[in-house]
Amino acid sequence: MKKLLSIALAGVCLCMPVYPAATALVSGAKSAILMDAATGVVLYEQNANAKSFIASTTKIMTGLIVLENAELDDTVNVSPQAVGVEGSSIYLEAGQKISVKELLYGLLLKSGNDAAAALAIHCAGGIDAFAGMMNERARSLSMTGSHFTNPHGLNHPEHYSTARDMAKLTRAALNNSGFSEIVRTKYYKLNGVTIKNHNKMLWNYNGADGVKTGFTKLAGRCLVSSATRGNMQLICVTLKASNDWGDHAALLNYGFDSYTLRHFFNEGQPLATLPVYGGEKNSVEAVVNQDIRLLLKKGQADKVKLEVVLPRYLWAGIARGEQVGILRLTQDNNILLEYPVVAKEAILAVTPKRRLRDLFKKKIS
């Protein structure tokens, strides 16, 4: 027997997987995308699956892998292979000893290609081995349109990605506190010299908090940016753009002006207490196992019902995290989204002998 707890939420609109703008928002980019960082919902896209050279935006992947596989205070002994790499540089010298932390700032603020090579060799023993790590991480993020051959982004026919994949990558990277701290830093003192972040959005856009620029003649101007206003963080990607700073401001403004993020439940938040029979405990809390958040279009008055479908009671022998119900979003009797509701803790079943003893005690008391 089920009971249904229904809560009508006035003024809530379901977010669909993609919200295209009525008109193009970018002036000349080969491809572009705007994504909500919390939910992964795409708000705008233009040729987002087109494969492109990505120049130094590659270093988002490099930085993430280093942060996941090395300690910030690790000492790197700079390999001769990392010295004199073409393009942007922090002017490393062979045999120089420098920390992973310093190299990451040189990588993500000054876009040092030598820093990228030094970090790759430190983490994987070589450039090719590190590229293998990059491709493995890309697969784990479902970056199906990407392939990496180096840690810095210098042009190679087999080194490419898409706007959609770069947004997926950036969403994962921004969840790393070390990464997000570095890319929002405007200035950093490296070897006694103050370096400045190449990302002009940090100075020119209200709420900007990273992430990476890129340019080669073949790739053109590439930019990945993020910005936060209130509880909403957006990720913007343009590849081969003629007006990247303007395009990003327009896309981010569109996102913040048109959408709002609603937070309904926190991970682990109790929704109900269910009776339990035949167990060591006589009740268990039913909780959600993830944050429940929705990106909602502003100005729409459609009603969405939030329903928690639970049994009236449970029998013992319940595992922690076992699904015991469903949290469901519906509109006009159509199911839109569903999330599992789970037991907060395990409830062991008592033995028949123990159950009889407890019943006997209850009768004579």
Q: Which residues are catalytic?
A: 56, 59, 111
Q: Are 55 and 124 in contact (CB under 8 A)?
A: no
What is d(CA 356, CA 364) in angstroms, rounded to the nearest whole number?
13
Q: Are 167 and 33 in contact (CB under 8 A)?
A: yes
Give residue 300's region: left, alpha or beta (phi > 0; psi -120 to 50): beta
Rg, the chain, Cα only: 26
Query: For residue 121, how many C-alpha atoms fall within 13 Å in the half-sphere facing its CB?
Result: 17
What is d(CA 239, CA 166) in angstroms, rounded to the nearest whole number?
10
Evaluated on CA atoms 36, 42, 45, 48, the torsion sign reads positive
Q: Are 159 and 53 in contact (CB under 8 A)?
A: yes
What is d(CA 24, CA 34) in angstroms, rounded to the nearest whole number?
12
Among residues 72, 65, 50, 83, which one has the least CA distance to residue 132? Answer: 65
- Tell me the two tokens of residue 71: 């300690």
Residues 6+ apart with CB under 8 A from 82: 92, 114, 115, 117, 118, 121
Q: In sequence order, what DSSP letters do the residues of 138-189 get, joined into one string?
A: HHHTT-TT-B-S-SS----TT-BB-HHHHHHHHHHHHTSHHHHHHHT-SEEE
Alpha carbon separation from 67 to 70, 179, 192, 236, 343 (Å, rounded): 6, 7, 24, 22, 34
Largest CA distance in the chain: 89
Q: Are 236 and 209 in contact (CB under 8 A)?
A: no
- Tell me the two tokens of residue 192: 């006694």
